[in-house]
């Protein structure tokens, strides 16, 4: 079922770029891996970048129990979470109409704490697998002490929307005759060759998860 537009998610500027299809929103979330979490603490607005993962209809974020962001959000304070993917620079014939091709998601809601150790460990596995698939099975799992020192929050994906800009520049009609180059410079994220840790023992081979790394672009 698609997201229902609310007062907070209804696009007021360029509403034709709004996307409320749940599958489209999830594709953007599944391709990204850094979100920005906005909240208010002590009367001041704060925005913090952090990693995330999607687990069905929930967004997972985690961090140290000492994190001000997590300590605030687990008390039930409202949050606004955004994810943005940049796909290209749009060069127009006028300075005014330059733009960016992008895909973004905005989520509103209230987080809850994942307390159960089994569910918390599974959430951390999902966070790891979202960043680099296959890595969880290659490394030492978290100890009880590490789990205790980590807070994992779940944000229900109930109130969300996407905004997307694609295509060439949109110039004023009279500017199309100008002798000025216009178009799009595509931007993509590419992984370079893995760089070994200087303290890596000799003979340890690069695992497939690192050697064949690429960003996931498909929702699951």
Q: What is the pLDDT of residue 104?
A: 97
Write down the pTM of the prediction.
Answer: 0.92
Residue range 9-41, pLDDT digits in tens: 988 887 888 898 999 999 999 999 999 999 999
Domains located in the chain, CATH noted = 15-170+180-211 (2.30.110.10)
Q: What is the pLDDT of residue 201?
A: 95
Contact 84, 32 (CB under 8 A): yes
E strand segments, the chain: 18-19, 34-41, 44-51, 53-55, 58-64, 78-91, 99-110, 112-113, 150-156, 159-165, 183-186
- CA 135-138-141 angle, 5° bins: 90
Nearest CA to 58 out of 113, 18, 16 is that of 113
- In which residue ranges of the chain is pLDDT below 70? 216-220
Residue 26 CA to residue 144 CA, distance in Å, equals: 32
Q: What is the pLDDT of residue 216?
A: 59
């Amino acid at each position: 079922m698609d997201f229902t537009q609310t007062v907070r998610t209804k696009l007021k500027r360029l509403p034709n770029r709004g996307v409320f299809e749940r599958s489209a929103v999830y594709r953007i979330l599944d391709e990204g891996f850094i979100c920005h979490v906005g909240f208010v603490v002590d009367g001041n607005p704060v925005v913090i970048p952090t990693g995330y993962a999607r687990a069905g209809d929930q967004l997972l974020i985690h961090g140290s129990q000492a994190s001000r962001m997590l300590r605030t959000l687990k008390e039930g304070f409202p949050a606004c979470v955004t994810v943005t993917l940049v796909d290209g620079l749009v060069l127009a014939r006028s300075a005014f109409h330059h733009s960016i091709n992008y895909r973004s998601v905005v989520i509103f809601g209230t987080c809850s704490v994942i307390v159960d150790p089994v569910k918390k460990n599974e959430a951390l596995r999902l966070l790891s697998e979202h960043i680099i698939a296959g890595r969880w099975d290659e490394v030492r799992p978290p100890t009880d002490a590490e789990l205790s020192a980590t807070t994992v929050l779940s944000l229900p994906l109930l109130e969300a929307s996407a905004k997307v800009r694609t295509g060439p520049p949109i110039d004023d009609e009279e500017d199309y005759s100008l002798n000025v180059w216009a178009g799009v410079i595509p931007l993509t994220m590419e992984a370079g060759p893995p760089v070994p840790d200087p303290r890596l023992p000799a003979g340890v081979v690069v695992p497939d998860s690192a050697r064949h790394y690429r960003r996931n672009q498909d929702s699951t």
